[in-house]
Amino acid sequence: MNGLNVFEGLGHTFLTVFISLIPLVILFLVFQFLYLKLPMKHVLNLFKGIALALLGIAIFLQGVRVGFFPVGREMGEMLGAVSHKWILIPLGFLLGFLATFGEPAVRVLSDQIERTSIGSIRKSVVLYTISFGVALFVALGMARIIYGIPLMYIVVPGYILAMALLWPSDKTTICIAFDAGGVATGPMAVTFLLAITVGIASAMEGRDPVTDGFGLIALIALAPILSIMILGIIVHIKLRRKEV
């Protein structure tokens, strides 16, 4: 802990994000000159947007790293030492929900779903369903660490259930569900929730921080797949009842 140097490493983060956007920009420029030929003003606006996103994600990642990561670690270590271990389960639920609720990529996906469905699938519904799913599975993950349940006992039945749910689900729901599984494992969830879990695992005897930490990411990726598909089936049944 060396004081309040909250900007340490910002330059490095900025550089990696900058590099990651280069291919898109080059490809766009090639397309622009060969085919698109959009008006210059429009192109300038797009580049302003890219610059904003670049700056934004670098600052965001920095904030997660200097603020949320150490706090997650500290919280985890303190929570790992509490005598009533069961309290970790509701706490995992709460923090899992809230971290996903603050995840930028989850927002982008929900936003795009509302836009392309012309409002028939509301953004908030998608957002709450993903967050709820992750909350449930982080709570499960906590229970797993406390009682020493092997990860495979949750992940294997989970994926079997996901495969089984493919049949009653319609194709839009399936696509959205698996996309949601991808976006939920963003910087907020992975950095903050992982830090808490690693903290807990390292404070408890007989737990391996690395294995238990990994397990959490697998659970977070699985959670929204199930919750979105189950939501889709519920909506489907309701619609059918209305028609009858």
Ranges within 113-152 binding other proteins (CB under 8 A) = 113, 116-117, 121
137 contacts: CB under 8 Å, gap ≥ 6? 96, 154, 219, 220, 222, 223
The four Cα atoms 233, 239, 240, 244 give a dihedral, to 10 degrees, of 160
Nearer Cβ to other proteins (171/242):
171
Interface residue with other proteins, options 89, 143, 217, 235 (CB under 8 A) = 217
88 binds other proteins (CB under 8 A): no
Nearer Cβ to other proteins (96/136):
96
| Residue 118 · residue 127 · CB < 8 Å | no
Nearer Cβ to other proteins (224/244):
224
Distance CA 170, CA 161 (A): 16
| Residue 101 · residue 140 · CB < 8 Å | no
81 binds other proteins (CB under 8 A): no
Query: Pattern 33-72, binding to other proteins, x per CB under 8 A?
Result: --xx-x------xxxxxxxxxxxxxxxxxxxxxxxx-xx-
Burial of residue 179, with CB atoms counted within 10 A of its CB: 0-12 exposed, 13-18 middle, 19 or more buried: middle
Least distance to other proteins from the beta carbon of 244, Å?
24
21 binds other proteins (CB under 8 A): yes
Least distance to other proteins from the beta carbon of 139, Å?
15
